[in-house]
Amino acid sequence: MKNLQIRRKIAAGSAVDAFMADRAGHSVLVQVSHPEVIADPELYGRFLDTTRVTSTQHRHPALLAPELTSCEPDGRFVLVTGPVSGRTAADHLRERGPLTSSEAIRWGVRICDALEFLHAHGVVHGHLAPHNLFLDGDLDQPEVRLLDTALLLFRGTKSVPRGQVLVAPEYLSPERCAGRRATPACDVYGMGVLLHELLTTEPPFSGRGVTETRALQLHAPLPPLRPGLEEWQPVLARCLAKRASDRFGSLAELRDRLRTLKPLETPAIEVQLCELELKKPRCLQPGDVIGRYRIESLLGEGGMGHVFAARHLSIDRRVAIKVLRPELSRIDSQVQRFIGEAQAVNLVKHPNIIAIEDLVREGDRVFFVMELLSGKSLKLLAKDAPIELTRVVRLMRQGADALAAAHGVGVIHRDIKPDNLVVEPGPDGDEQLKVLDFGVARIRGGDLKAAYRTQVGQVVGTPLWMAPEQVMGHQVDARADVYSLSMVMYVLLTRRFPFSGADLSQVVMQRLSRDADPVGEHSFLGEKIPWQVQRLLEMGLSRELGKRPISMEWFAAALREIEQGTAEKPIEVEEPGRPWWTRWRS
- The CA distances from residue 162 to 155, 157, 165, 172, in Å, are 12, 11, 9, 18
81 sits in which H/E element: strand 77-81
- The CA distances from residue 373 to 1, 201, 230, 358, 392, in Å, are 64, 42, 34, 16, 20
The Cβ-side half-sphere exposure at 441, using a 13 Å CA radius, reads 30
Sign of the torsion formed by the C-alpha atoms of 564, 568, 572 and 576 = negative
Residue of 401, 415, 419, 437 marked active site: 415
d(C-alpha 339, C-alpha 236), whole Å: 56
Which amino acid is it at 448? L
At 6, is the secondary structure helix, strand, or coil? Answer: strand
Q: In this structure, are strands 143-147 and 365-370 parallel, antiparallel, or unpaired?
A: unpaired
Contact predicate 517/448, CB 8 Å = no
Q: Which ranges of 364-444 does DSSP label H, i.e. alpha helix? A: 378-384, 389-408
- Write the CB contacts of 33 (distance below 8 Å, at least 6 apart in sequence): 15, 16, 47, 76, 77, 78
For residues 108, 208, 177 and 54, what is the CA-based torsion angle, rounded to 10 degrees?
50
- The CA distances from residue 225 to 255, 265, 416, 583, in Å, are 20, 20, 41, 56
**Can 428 be counted among the known catalytic residues?**
no
Q: Could you give the residue numbers annotated as active site? A: 415
